[in-house]
Amino acid sequence: MSVGSVARRTMLTVGLPVVLVTAWWFATANSTNFFWPPLREILEAFADTWFSNRIMADVVPSLVRLLVGYVLALVLGIGLGVAIGSSRTLRGVVEPVLEFFRAIPPPVLVPILILFAGIGNEMKVLVIVSGCLWPVLLNTVEGVRGLDEVLRDTARCYGLGRRSQLTHLVLRGASPQIAVGARQALSIGIILMVISEMFAASNGVGFTIIQFQRTFAIPEMWSGIILLGLIGITLAFLFRLVESRALAWYRGLRMTQRGEG
């Protein structure tokens, strides 16, 4: 690749973001509007607010709750999904109920779960689990159902044990679909992490940002919005990284199939 084309690619990638941030910087540079403080102040507030003990006191607890809830939802969703997807009768019985649960907007679970679990960590983890569960569960069911019949029969003919059928055939075959559900679940999880803290909490990112907003600490509030954005972007990036490694075989398969077809 020539130097020119590398320069062009870099220009195209960073060009617009640089223009936008610069525009923000200069448009607000002398801003006296209370709601739109200068970007310089926001960035100073960002450093002051989040690079202090708040990282341990607010950011880490939020992320830990998200992680615990998300992992629990994955385990539960995949486990139940494999069971439901493998049995035609069971699927018929529970599918309408599952569709209903998926259709309930997850944030309404917050007031319900407050009743059961108070406003502590358990409630927040429960909220995240019960919101993230459905996309994972339904996509796993879909993935297991869509497994190639020939592969299934082949595995049976070769006398694969139940355990190796599960790991090599069922989970492997359903994994692209499971990844779709896991990605949806991640963005729902982030929403629920923030909502549950905004609704009722004593620490966490969502709680802190609402606190800034209520006390009219505007630059700090903006820094919180930026922080949430950065968390979202980082988690999406990490997810893509894991997904592309775990599903490398699938992309290769798709490419060869397309090349031949």
Span of 39-47, 148-156, 222-230, 246-254 interacting with another protein by CB under 8 A = 222-230
Q: Does 146 bind another protein (CB under 8 A)?
A: no
Residue 35 vs residues 32, 39, 205: alpha-carbon distances, Å: 9, 12, 20
Contact 219, 37 (CB under 8 A): yes
Using CA atoms, how far apart are residues 77 and 92, in angstroms rounded to an integer? 18
- Annotate each residue in 54-93 with x if it binds another protein (CB under 8 A) or - if it does not, as one string: -----------------------------------x--xx
Using CA atoms, how far apart are residues 68 and 141, in angstroms rounded to an integer? 23
Write down the least CB distance from residue 76 to another protein, Å.
18
Write down the least CB distance from residue 175 to another protein, Å.
21
Q: Residues near 225 by Cβ (< 8 Å), separated by ≥ 6?
A: 209
Write down the least CB distance from residue 56 to another protein, Å.
21
Write down the least CB distance from residue 111 to another protein, Å.
4
**Secondary structure of residue 189 in the 3-state scheme:** helix
Contact 232, 63 (CB under 8 A): no
Span of 54-62, 103-111, 152-160, 253-261 interacting with another protein by CB under 8 A = 103-111
Nearer to another protein, 18 or 75 (CB): 18
Nearer to another protein, 98 or 169 (CB): 98
Q: Any alpha helices (H) in 87-171, and if so which ranges? A: 88-103, 109-117, 121-145, 149-157, 162-164
Q: Residues near 184 by Cβ (< 8 Å), separated by ≥ 6?
A: 135, 139
Using CA atoms, how far apart are residues 228 and 223, in angstroms rounded to an integer? 9
Q: Does 154 bind another protein (CB under 8 A)?
A: no
**How many residues of this chain interact with another protein, rule: CB under 8 A?**
57
Site for another protein, rule CB under 8 A = 12-17, 20, 35, 89, 92-97, 99-108, 110-112, 114-116, 187-188, 190-191, 194-195, 198-199, 206, 209-210, 212-213, 218, 221-222, 224-225, 228-229, 231-233, 235-237
